[in-house]
Every structure is written in C-alpha cells, then in structure tokens.
Amino acid sequence: MADGGLCQILALLVLDSDGARLAVKYCSYARKELWVGSKAQMAFEKRVISKLPKPSTARTGEVDVAVIDDYTVLFQACNDVIVCAVAGANENELVVLQLVEGIFASMSSTAQGSSFLSSGLTKQLVLDSLADVLFILDEVMDDGIIMETDEDKISARIKMIDETEATNAAQAEQMFQKATQSAKAKLLGSLIGSRG
C-alpha cells in the first residue's frame, strides 16, 4: 500500500483481445517508473494478454483476477475489449475490483450512448469515443491513487455535470415517469369506466 493506507494502482490498461493498446495510463511507484518507455510497457501488456483468458462473446464478463509478474491484475472483458487494473500483490483487491467495475461501466455507458441494441463494449466503440475513455482513466486515478469508483459520478464528470445537477436530473426523470404512469392509469380508468 502507498503511504497513508491508500491503494496504489500501477497501471490502467484498455486492450483489445490481441493485446494491442487502445488506452493506457501508467503510474510511478514510490517515484520510480516500473515500466520505463513504451517498449517495456507494450511487452508487459503482451504478457498480461497472454496470461488472461480470451474474452467471451457474452454481453459482459465478470471481473476476474490474475497474478502476473508478481502484480495483481484485475480485469473485465467483453467482446474484444479488456479493461485491466494492475496493482501490487499486497493491495486490497476489493477496492481495485470497484475501480475496474466503475471504469468498465462508465466506458460502456459513454461509448454506447443511448443505443439499446448494443451488444456491449467493443474495440470500435472504444476507438470512436477515445477522448472520453482517456478522460475516464484520468478522472478515476491521479498519480496511482484511486479518486473515484462510482459509475454515476464518473459519468457526470465526463459529461461535465455537477453531481447535484445529476441528482436533480435523476429526480426529475423519476417524477416524469411517475406522472406518465399516473396519466396512463387515469386514461385507462376513464376508458374502461365509460364502457361499463
């Protein structure tokens, strides 16, 4: 663990199923680079992808864990995209798990937008919304320290919405849904009542 008991993340990786990097963020550990230069980073990424199981075509995989080169790697895969968080062997896996779930969910909601026919996160969706994906990686971690894990808060930051605005928007949506349901029930009641 980092000084003060904070969880230290060494790298966030968004890779395709062949190990090619889509988006990555590396951090220093105790002011020392663990993977110096892009060649060392890409070699590590290839080792990571070679040790992980291939992503299934299922909509969303569960977060899983692997130990690679004495580092704990938590990852979530869907279609041809794998999101990984690399931490030291002694870090709290539950905190890192929340981070991976938050990143994956934020990327999925940001990349897919309002499409309800989507088959999950894909390489093309990540590349199409690369600026947002990089922003997500930057928002969730600062110099290896986890700053946020909640999908709603991450998404609100990406959309540049204040958290209170996001809460107010959610409440307004709920009120609209209730009003719609009430109007529907009254309309059906009046139609059924006029027949009988």
What pLDDT was estimated at residue 2? Answer: 47
pLDDT tens-digit readout, 119-174: 778 888 888 888 888 998 988 888 888 888 888 888 888 877 666 666 677 778 88
Torsion angles phi and psi, residue 110, rounded to 5? -70, -45
For residue 59, pLDDT over 50 is answered with no
Q: pTM higher than 0.75 for the full model?
A: no
Q: Which of 117, 153, 64 is nearest to 125 (CA)?
A: 117
3-class DSSP assignment, residue 64: strand
E-only strand ranges, 46-194: 64-68, 71-78, 81-88, 141-142, 145-146
Confidence of residue 81 (pLDDT cuts 50, 70, 90): confident
Specify the amino acid at residue 193: G
Q: Which of 60, 47, 49 is nearest to 15 (CA)?
A: 49
**Surface-to-core class of residue 184, CB atoms within 10 Å of its CB (0-12 exposed, 13-18 middle, 19+ buried):** exposed
For residue 50, pLDDT over 80 is answered with yes
Mean pLDDT across 15-41:
82
